[in-house]
Amino acid sequence: IVPVAKPAAAPVVQYQSLEIWAPENGESFFGADATVSVRLRSEPSLVSSDRLLLFLDGKLVEGAEDAYEHTLSNLERGAHSVTATILDNQGNEKIRSEPRVFHIKQPTTIAPRAVGPKVKPPPKPTPR
């Protein structure tokens, strides 16, 4: 009887780190059409049996699976948070990044008010 060799199991990778290195924490982007480039890195690199997912404000970013670079657009004004996670082939979380917060700001449509030392006060009404 010849012993049957078992197929080698895929090596289990322990990730040392998963981080978002762009955008900067607290970075601001201006304009309704602002795009935000999100860049990730892991140590070691993602293995083929695992999945890398990106979340924006707690919701999965569609089409962002297994990519280290993403471009986010059509974001509403305010603060947003991105996080990334690596899952094994059973869907168990192996590692999660620290959240990264950034801000979308709209340019103001209010005309700037004149302020400063050269601004003259309005004329005082003259009594009749």
**pLDDT per residue as tens digits for the range 30-40:** 987 889 999 99
Q: Express each pLDDT in 88-106 by its tens digit.
A: 999 999 999 999 999 999 8
Which amino acid, 119? Answer: V
28-50 in b/e form (b: 16+ CB < 10 A) is ebeeeebebebebebeeebeeeb
Q: Which of 63, 55, 48 is nearest to 80 (CA)?
A: 55
Low-confidence ranges of the chain (pLDDT < 70): 1-11, 64, 108-122
Predicted model pTM: 0.73
Dihedral sign (CA 10, 12, 16, 17): positive
| Distance in angstroms (rounded) separating the CA atoms of residues 114 and 128 | 30
